Amino acid sequence: MKREFTIVIEQDEDGIYVASVPELEGCHTQAKTLDELRERVNEAIQLYLEVESEIVEAVPLEFVGIQKIKVTV
């Protein structure tokens, strides 16, 4: 069975790419290149689903979107 997930990719101050999967709480990984990141996030999702499959099936979340907001501090 194939499932589709949304991946949020950011780059930290050291140039490392960080990916997180909003639909899977706590599922994230990092890598030095985008190609390596794609491989690692695929593996992270597979491992997450092996361990947490009952939770994901019981409460499936759907990614809605990302918004930027400005806050005065």
Domain region containing 12: 1-73
Report the pLDDT value the prediction gives residue 61, as an integer from 0 to 100.
67
8 A C-beta contact, residue 27 and residue 44: yes
Quote the number of domains for the chain: 1
pTM of the model: 0.75
8 A C-beta contact, residue 44 and residue 28: yes
> Confidence class of residue 57 from pLDDT cuts 50, 70 and 90?
low
> In CATH, what number is assigned to the domain containing residue 53?
3.30.160.250
Among residues 6, 2, 9, 3, which one has the least CA distance to residue 65?
Answer: 6
Contacts of 60 (CB under 8 A, 6+ apart): 23
Q: What is the CA radius of gyration of the chain?
A: 14
Residues 16-52: tens digit of each pLDDT = 999 999 888 899 999 999 999 999 999 999 999 888 7
